[in-house]
Amino acid sequence: MLHMRFVSIALSLALLCACATTAPTTSATLQGDAAHPAQTQGWVETRLFFGLGLVGDAHGGVSEQGWRDFLDAEVTPRFPDGLSVVDVYGQWQGKEQSTPERLRSKMLIVDYPDSAANRAKVEAIRTAWKQRTGDQSVLRVTQPAEVSF
């Protein structure tokens, strides 16, 4: 019985050591895909903040379906390679307001090669949202980004 336990422990250790030594030593990267290079230069990350409506107002503002329709019509065609959307809480105080509005909001995150054409796409998205909703503003934050796929 003691011999069987020893053999079982020895086999377990041997298997554990074998697993540890067969792990790959390099990470996988995409090669040859210009839209998703292994390393990037000259890329930026833009975050756009969209107000959907007042917190607690179940009947006003933009619905989830309305947001998805906007995303499908205005954003995805301009940045089909990928993007992220995060639900966020936001506040906004207009020039004529005495207190900030509490807003249901979405944050859109897009990483892309920095070019005049791509920046124009971002501005077109902001303009389309303001025209669709009547909002005064879509906050934009753009920063350099080191991106790896």
What is the domain partition of the chain in residue ranges?
48-145
State yes or no: pLDDT of 24 exceeds 90: no
> Rounded mean pLDDT of 89-118?
92
Q: Are 62 and 53 in contact (CB under 8 A)?
A: yes
d(CA 131, CA 35): 30
Distance between CA atoms of residues 130 and 138, nearest Å: 7
Residue 70 predicted with pLDDT over 90: yes
At residue 36 the predicted structure's pLDDT band, cuts being 50, 70 and 90, is low
Contact assessment for residue 78 and residue 124, using Cβ atoms and an 8 Å cutoff:
yes
DSSP string, 86-139: EEEEEEE--TT-SSPEEEEEEEEEEEEE--HHHHHHHHHHHHHHHHHH--S--E
Spatial distance between the Cα atoms of 105 and 139, rounded to a whole number of angstroms:
11
Q: Give the containing element (helix H, strand E) for 67.
A: helix 64-70
Inform me whether the pLDDT recorded for 137 exceeds 70.
yes
Kindly tell me if the per-residue pLDDT of 81 is higher than 60.
Answer: yes
- The mean pLDDT of 41-51, rounded to a whole number, is 95
pTM assigned to the model:
0.72
Q: Which residue has the higher pLDDT, 72 or 149?
A: 72
In which element (H, E) is residue 44 found?
Answer: strand 43-54
Q: 6, exposed or middle or buried, with CB in 10 Å at 0-12, 13-18, 19+?
A: exposed
| Two structure tokens written together for 148 | 């790896």
Residue entry with tokens 């007042």: 54
